[in-house]
Structure 1
Amino acid sequence: MALNVRVEEVHVVWMTAGLSCDGDSVSITAAMQPSIEDVLMGAIPGLPKVQLHNPVLAYEVGDSFLSWWYKAERGEIDPFVLVVEGSIPNEKIKKEGYWAALGNDPITDQPITTCEWIDRLAPKAWAVVAIGTCATYGGIHAMQGNPTGAMGLPDYLGWNWRSSAGLPIVCVPGCPVQPDNFMETLLYLLYQAAGLAPMIPLDEALRPTWLFGHTVHDGCDRGSSYEQGEFATEYGSPKCLVKLGCWGPVVQCNVPKRGWMAGIGGCPNVGGICIGCTMPGFPDKFMPFMDEPPGAKISSNAISVYGSVIRKLRKLTNTTLDKEPSWRHTRPELTTGYQPTWGQ
């Protein structure tokens, strides 16, 4: 299907057969902007009708559920959006067995591997979306020493891969994904399918730019503590968490700004360090967790000197601003500086 050709109905075929915990499927049930219910019930103006096929959320089971996968493969539910959850194992590195699969082939009665499903469905999909860090960049399963050769969807299909409509893979990372981040991205793609939105803007890591264009630090409630050189030395402190291992200043993520549910939460905002779960280098490049990041030692020491001066200057200014002007009094003279221009 050509890009931006208005459609009346879109199917969302959601694979959770990768290496994952299904945490992303669970996470999106908490979305509110928009909620998954609003999208499926047609409560949002301008959207095509949406049919969701997710094994965690579906009421169908067995062959009835898998029939949608075969319909997608045969082109009977065009257009459809393929959502992939979980990292992709490398099925080529072993002589027998399989790492991950979903259902059995009706002809051979052998398990259909996750890789085979992706090979069958991705070329037919109007858009392909990787949800969560496992699907986007490999995540925990792809860390050094893993036995499965796991990888993210762009590694499997290729970073320059394009869907049948010419869209790149759309990556919405997070461990798990922030619920509104994913639903907002899906909403954008549905509007694009309806001919009501331009090509989705993505960064070099294939993340939506409006969601991942700023760092954790940019939206963190503790950002002012960093600026003033006030750092926590133990958990429970309201000060900046950099010295406890927070990577927020260099991690692309909007969770502190957006919150987790209803604008509330977000890792550093509620006392948890940022471990970089939305980044392609996660987890290996952010380990060991809870140790002060190497760059933070230099920057925090430099900011401590600057911050101490800033704190003193601000305290001095605060003492003058925290007092009322002298002309507010009950004495019988006017001392506001008012100069009458009439009646003299």
Structure 2
Amino acid sequence: MDLYIQLCQDPQYGGRLASVVLPRLREFFADKDSRKPPVIWLETTGCSGNSVSLWNAIGPDLGQILEDMIDLRYWNFLMAAQDDRAIELLHNTAAGRKNRFILVVEGAIALNERYTVVHRRAGKDYSALEMVRFLGRSAQHVMAVGTCASFGGPSAAHPNPSRSVGLEEAINRKVIKASGCPAHPDWIIGTLGYILMFGEPELDEHGRPRIFYGETVHRRCTRRSFFERGIFAQSLGDPECMLRLGCKGPVTGADCPTRQWNSYVSWPVEANTPCIGCTNPGFPDQMEPFFEPLPERDEQTANPVNPCHLVKSRITRRGGRL
């Protein structure tokens, strides 16, 4: 377990996560003489951005994930079965593999059930809320992928006529969250691999794996030295710390600086864009305006404050939703 965590966190394995995860999964399944676990991936109120992100995985790629990691039973984004056959496969898996399948949800859950009908069966419409409650009762593990599924995200942004919320709030059971808008492929694959071999990973205060979300973006930012010396960018494109241009890195848990994006070649700050806090509870509303700095004074007392502590305390005080 410790070796798995160490390798997943090691930046030198960027692009080669398959060399870490897949051999161990093969050994695990062989030792346990067990089959790959059934997985139901349900899209609800979202944009499919996390599905696209996972499609862009390169180590392992999607083909390796399907061959070596999981037995994919339902994913409307990627499955051969259509129409009633696909829906029956979904319901039969939930009924026949109770407490033996993994439910992955992408997208927020609309409490207003006039929104997000995910399918129709025998003449009856099934809403996202109805399905996640039905599947959540039967799943061995429940995983939220992306910030919408984790905390509501953009789907729950003001004025939120659908009354969208994060998955955990909708089903009232513990959910392992891989937040991000979208989530990095490694966050999804690494979390899923850990669940398959060891069960629930160690989670932070927001229910996210500490493997990937245990440190802030600010901690390992490539511009951290400028922050320490009090040298700040004045406009986009300047090479210094972008805290005063609205960077939310000090209050955002993610390993983007070391893991990087787009086949491990860059990340937002390296592309001269401030971190917008997309993995956070309260994103996007409470991270906006994106290009205005975090508060430097308490709104009530006008006393100087550490902006990191101020924003983090608000997130924690309201149970992860600002």
Q: Give the aligned partner of residue 9 of structure 1.
A: 36
Displacement of 1:117 in angstroms is: 0.9
Q: Give the aligned partner of residue 15 of structure 2.
A: none
> Contact between 2:194 and 2:200, CA under 8 Å: does it hold in 1?
no
Displacement of 1:281 in angstroms is: 2.0
1:176 and 2:182 correspond: yes
- DSSP-derived class of the 1:9 partner: coil
Q: Give the aligned partner of residue 313 of structure 2.
A: none
Q: How does 1:19-30 map to 2 (within 5 A)?
A: 19-30=45-56
1:86 and 2:92 correspond: no
Q: Give the aligned partner of residue 31 of structure 1.
A: 57
> Contact between 1:75 and 1:124, CA under 8 Å: does it hold in 2?
no
Q: Give the aligned partner of residue 329 of structure 1.
A: none
Paired letter, 2:65: V
The share of aligned pairs that are identical, in percent, is: 32
Q: Give the aligned partner of residue 115 of structure 2.
A: 99
Displacement of 1:71 in angstroms is: 1.0
Paired letter, 1:281: G
Find the aligned partners of 2:247 and 2:214 in 1 and give their Cα distance: 19
Query: Normalising by structure 2, what TM-score?
Result: 0.78
Q: Give the aligned partner of residue 92 of structure 2.
A: 71
1:57 and 2:69 correspond: no
Point out where structure 2 has 5 or more consecutive residues left out of the alignment. 1-28, 299-303, 308-322
Find the aligned partners of 1:220 and 1:300 in 2 and give their Cα distance: 18
Find the aligned partners of 1:246 and 1:63 in 2 and give their Cα distance: 47
Paired letter, 1:179: P
- Consecutive aligned runs of 4 or more in structure 1 exceeding 4 Å deviation: 296-301
Alpha carbon RMSD of aligned pairs, Å? 2.4
> Contact between 1:33 and 1:184, CA under 8 Å: does it hold in 2?
no
Displacement of 1:247 in angstroms is: 0.8
Displacement of 1:300 in angstroms is: 9.6
> Contact between 1:72 and 1:78, CA under 8 Å: does it hold in 2?
no
Find the aligned partners of 1:76 and 1:216 in 2 and give their Cα distance: 39
The superposition leaves residues 227-272 of structure 1 with CA deviations (integer Å, 9 ceiling, x where unpaired) of 1222111111221111111011121111122101332222212211
Q: How does 1:1-344 map to 2 (within 5 A)?
A: 6=32, 7-16=34-43, 18-42=44-68, 50-51=71-72, 53-76=74-97, 79-91=100-112, 98-106=114-122, 109-158=123-172, 161=173, 168-191=174-197, 197=198, 199-295=200-296
* Count of aligned positions: 272
Find the aligned partners of 2:150 and 2:204 in 1 and give their Cα distance: 13
Displacement of 1:217 in angstroms is: 0.7
The superposition leaves residues 146-199 of structure 1 with CA deviations (integer Å, 9 ceiling, x where unpaired) of 1111100111122xx2xxxxxx310000001111111111111122xxxxx254
Bigger radius of gyration: 1
Query: Normalising by structure 1, what TM-score?
Result: 0.73
Find the aligned partners of 1:71 and 1:22 in 2 and give their Cα distance: 24
When residues 300 and 156 of structure 1 are mapped into structure 2, their CA distance, relative to the original with a 3 A threshold, is: closer
Find the aligned partners of 1:153 and 1:77 in 2 and give their Cα distance: 19
